[in-house]
Amino acid sequence: MKLILKIIKIFPPEASHKIALFLLKVLHKLKILNFLFPIDKKNNFEYLNLSFKNRLGTAAGLDKNGDYIDSLGALGFGFLEVGTVTPLPQKGNPKPRVFRLFDEQAVINRLGFNNKGVDYLVKNLKKRKYNGVVGVNIGANKTSEAQQRTNDYLICFDKVAEYSDYITINISSPNTPGLRNLHEDKHIKNLIDSLEQRVIELNFIKPIFIKISPDEPYEVIKSTAEYIKNSSLTGLIISNTTTNREMLKNSKYKDFQGGLSGSPLMERSTSLLKKINEEFPELPIIGVGGVMNKLDFDNKLASGASLVQIYTGFIINGPQIVSDILN
């Protein structure tokens, strides 16, 4: 299996990603996935009125369109988050747009919410066989501006509400121009107010998270947490990728545009998580950013996360990381 993973990594990043997930799907259909990656399944727990198999999940971006829910679920994840999905399909930014920094244990991406649209995702959600928790991460189309951007979230919310176990509002991708402006006080208040109104209209009682950027000033994140605390929304996902390059050792990567994830993000993301947890101890937090091994996973939990997600750790280290963390 290690040899196969090495061969896959020879291909360009996006092709490598698709090949790896396709192979997982094949192995799942052949019913040998659990044999190759056995998991101790005695970690079930109840949280936010949901039954989790364990505290480790996938971050948005790993399976944007919900094509691999059953095979990823079979690896032993406690929950999955699919997306980010937008109302209309979009190609994303021009290629090349993903760069694997193996020497830094990191990835830089400027994908730009490439996805097949919310209707395609809903079809996959309807036919999934995986019986674990599945969250949906929703975003706005690149061409949407001002109020239409808020409307994009509501369109996606309406369509995935029935078929998701929780919903994440992604306001923090650095690869959609102007999206991070939603962190600003007047914008985040309008977005939360609009979501609350939709929650009432749909009688929606499942968890709702907002995924935030690690690059915003602390007072901005604190203000967002305060709004969530006083609303019917649930909590925060801390955090998305960073545009900061100070943590990189190799200067050749510093001019690469896009969001940096993986090991260099760990300290920055976890420090923010810890500060918010100390100030808002009752606020549910999902920790993500830089989890490359069990030590990082434990660190997120110790810093205040109730659940932890991985993405780059899975890309760099392969599916074995799931059993390495959980066993």
List the one residue out of 284, 293, 291, 294 whose CA is nearest residue 309: 291
pLDDT value at 39 more than 80 = no
Q: Compute and round to an integer the Cα radius of gyration of the chain.
A: 18
pLDDT at 194: 94
Would you state the structure tokens that stand for residue 259, as one six-digit string? Answer: 């969001």
Domains in the chain: ranges and CATH: 33-326 (3.20.20.70)
pLDDT value at 30 more than 90 = no
Mean predicted confidence (pLDDT) in 80-103: 93
Mean per-residue pLDDT over the chain, rounded:
91
Mean predicted confidence (pLDDT) in 113-132: 96
Predicted model pTM: 0.94
CA angle 87–203–183, rounded 5-degree value: 50
Contacts of 73 (CB under 8 A, 6+ apart): 80, 130, 131, 132
Establish whether 173 is a catalytic residue: yes
* Cβ neighbour number for residue 123 with a 10 Å cutoff: 13
What span, in angstroms and rounded, lies between the C-alpha atoms of 327 and 325? 6
pLDDT value at 10 more than 80 = no
DSSP string, 78-98: SEEEEEEE-SS-B--SPSP-E
What span, in angstroms and rounded, lies between the C-alpha atoms of 62 and 77? 13
Q: What is the pLDDT of residues 233-281, one digit of tens each?
A: 999 999 999 999 988 888 888 888 889 999 999 999 999 999 999 999 9
**At how many degrees (to 10) do helices 146-160 and 185-202 cross?**
30
Amino acid letter, 73: G
pLDDT at 139: 96
The pair phi, psi for residue 232, each rounded to 5°, is -90, 0
Question: Catalytic residue among 173, 261, 263, 303, which?
Answer: 173
Burial code (b: 16+ CB inside 10 Å, e: under 16) for 203-233 equals: ebebbbbbbbbbbbeeebbebbbebbeebeb
The pair phi, psi for residue 48, each rounded to 5°, is 55, 35
The pair phi, psi for residue 98, each rounded to 5°, is -135, 135
pLDDT value at 101 more than 70 = yes
Return the H-helix or E-strand segment holding 216.
Answer: none
Portion of the chain with pLDDT greater than 90, in percent: 70
